[in-house]
Amino acid sequence: MAGFGVRYVLAAKLVNELIEAADDKQLTQTIARYGRGDLLCIDELGSMELDRRGAELLFQGLTEREEKNSVAWTSRLPR
């Protein structure tokens, strides 16, 4: 409503896309695609287990994005 571009993605989907992109040598393009927009909302981050590679790729993508635009993530972990 305020004119900001927001992208929503499930954490598992994002990690799977990053892994596939890395395998296909398309990681830079995939990270750039998720880098567009004013806010990236990542849902259900706490409800998944990440292997080392998935965690590293997610960290790389988030690090490059947070230098330019905002990131928000949600989790259903108990308090």
Single out the residue of 70, 46, 71, 53 nearest to residue 16, CA to CA: 53
Mean per-residue pLDDT, 2-12: 91
Please report how the helices 52-66 and 27-35 are oriented relative to each other, as an axis angle in degrees rounded to 10.
Answer: 50
Tell me whether residue 79 is in a domain: no
| Amino acid letter for position 62 | L
Q: Is the pLDDT at 77 greater than 70, yes or no?
A: no
The CATH number covering residue 47 comes to 3.40.50.300
> Phi and psi of 30, rounded to 5°?
-70, -45
Tell me whether residue 14 is in a domain: yes
Per-residue pLDDT reduced to its tens digit, 11-53: 999 999 999 999 999 999 999 999 888 999 999 987 788 899 9
Structural domains counted in the chain:
1
> pTM for the complete prediction?
0.86
Q: How far apart are CA 6 and CA 58, in angstroms?
A: 18
What is the domain range of residue 60?
6-73
User: For position 79, what pLDDT does the model report?
Assistant: 60
